[in-house]
Amino acid sequence: MSAQRGFRVDVLEGARIALFSLKANRLRTVLTTLGIGIGVATLLAIVGIIQGLNTSFHRQLAGFGANTLYVSKFPWMMKGDWWVYRNRKNFTLEQVDRLRTLAPFLSAISPYVQRVADVGSGGEQMSSVRITGVTQQYLSIAGYEVTGGRFISEADDEVTRPVAVIGADVADALFPGISPVGRSIRIENRSFQVVGTLSRKGKIVNESLDLVVFIPFKTFYSSFGRGRGLEIALAVEDATKVKQAEDQLIGILRRVRSTPPGAGDDFTINKAEAMAQTYEQLTGALYGVATGVGLITLLVGGIGIMNIMLVSVRERTREIGVRRALGARKRTIVFQFLMEAASVSAVGGLLGTTVGLGTAKVVSLITPLAADVRPSTVLGGVFFAALVGLLFGIWPAARAANLDPVEALRYE
């Protein structure tokens, strides 16, 4: 019990003397904290932005749905020669019908085809709007919600009605302050009646999901021709068996498309998970660079702390000799200097964390970049800074504790 009490006394006394020393040397303390603070601020500013981007990206991906697959000639993330994908056979409506019959594990299936065009109404005009031809089931697959009117119906598709359902960005731009339902829009000088509006979904990879106009699939073909190959949107009935459904789907698609045995797949099954993996690889590299920059800056700050502590040891050599002569143990001296180094680093870490995460927040407000300030990041920044101080304070502390008391008392 006495050993534990002695240890507590050493720690408390070391902390008291360390704080007194820091207060007595204010300028030195401020200059020392700056090195650590700059390193922590640099690291956490980048980490805060990356965490914000990750949170925003995964929130946007959730809009695709955990049970959603998209079949196309092209992968979302292109790897390899574009001509290899370009030369694949187009999908056909007959293949979609066969897929619907052979894949009972799908709860919904819809062909879709899209292009970019100008859209206008009255005196308002928008460019680069994504026009997508879909069937009724596309709504439940893509995760949109109808906020006014209705979505595309089977009857619309069968009789190729010139009707449209518009995204939130299109509604706001073409019909500010009024309901678009029942009004007309022009898509490349073709008139379409708006029958519904959609809820806002935001952006993904800096592309707006609300800058869209949906029209019946067959209406798209009759209005804009069949030159564009169709793609297929699918929803798996059981969200817990998406991987199993994907494996089955590969075999069915090869059969439907008459892919020869031994030949590679002439299609790609796209899903949100694949985008997330590619995104994490990119941000992982950015994390590595940010960590490297932050660690180098912290290393410089740590070396600064060590130098300052060595100077402090020299200046207080006589004080250390007096304390040792009066019975102070080596561990008491070690605790004193370690607490001093850790305190300086912790203060620098706290200031650096505040500045770094504050910078990340400011960047998120004035730029499209997102930022995410987490309590664990704040605590981690302060703890890591204090740890750097402890590590770089070991040598000065050991040097102070190992001074010969007699020689220290003679030091001038």
Tell me the pLDDT of the chain (412 aa) as tens digits.
Answer: 455 555 555 556 555 655 666 565 666 667 677 777 777 787 777 777 777 777 777 666 666 666 888 998 888 777 667 777 888 888 989 999 999 899 888 889 999 999 999 999 988 899 999 999 999 999 988 888 999 999 999 999 999 999 999 999 999 999 998 999 999 999 988 999 999 999 988 777 667 889 999 999 999 999 988 777 899 999 988 878 888 888 899 999 999 898 888 888 888 888 876 666 667 776 777 777 777 777 787 787 788 778 877 877 787 788 778 877 777 778 778 877 787 777 777 777 788 878 877 777 777 777 666 666 667 767 777 777 778 878 888 888 888 888 777 776 766 5
Closest of 236, 305, 238 to residue 271, by C-alpha: 236
Query: What are the structure tokens assigned to 127, written together?
Result: 């460019």
* Phi-psi group of 188: left, alpha or beta (phi > 0 → left; psi -120 to 50 → alpha; rest → beta): left
State the Cα–Cα distance between residues 238 and 106, nearest whole angstrom.
8
| DSSP H or E stretch at residue 105 | none
State the Cα–Cα distance between residues 405 and 136, nearest whole angstrom.
89
Neighbours of 283 (CB within 10 A): 16
In the prediction, which pLDDT does 1 show? 45
Q: With beta carbons less than 8 A apart as the criterion, state whether 309 and 18 touch.
A: no
State the Cα–Cα distance between residues 29 and 23, nearest whole angstrom.
8
Query: What are the structure tokens assigned to 47, written together?
Result: 């980490």
Q: With beta carbons less than 8 A apart as the criterion, state whether 363 and 49 touch.
A: yes
Query: What are the structure tokens assigned to 136, written together?
Result: 């009724």
In sequence order, which residues have a C-beta less than 8 Å from that of residue 248 and are 6 or more positions away?
103, 105
| DSSP H or E stretch at residue 185 | strand 184-187
Spell out where 239-335 has E strands.
268-270
Distances in Å between the Cα of 165 and the Cα atoms of 155, 170, 174 are 15, 10, 13
Write phi, then psi, for 264 (nearest 5 degrees): -70, 160
State the Cα–Cα distance between residues 283 and 205, nearest whole angstrom.
13
Rg (CA), the chain: 33
pTM of the model: 0.66
- Does the CA dihedral 209-214-218-220 come out positive or negative? negative
Residue 99, Cβ density class (10 Å: 0-12 exposed, 13-18 middle, ≥19 buried):
buried
State the Cα–Cα distance between residues 71 and 254, nearest whole angstrom.
12
Q: Are strands 106-121 and 124-134 parallel, antiparallel or unpaired?
A: antiparallel
Break the chain into its structural domains and give their ranges.
Answer: 2-60+277-410, 67-271
State the Cα–Cα distance between residues 307 and 330, nearest whole angstrom.
21
Chain-centroid distance, C-alpha 328: 53
Residue in this structure with the two tokens 């299609």, named with its chain if needed: 267
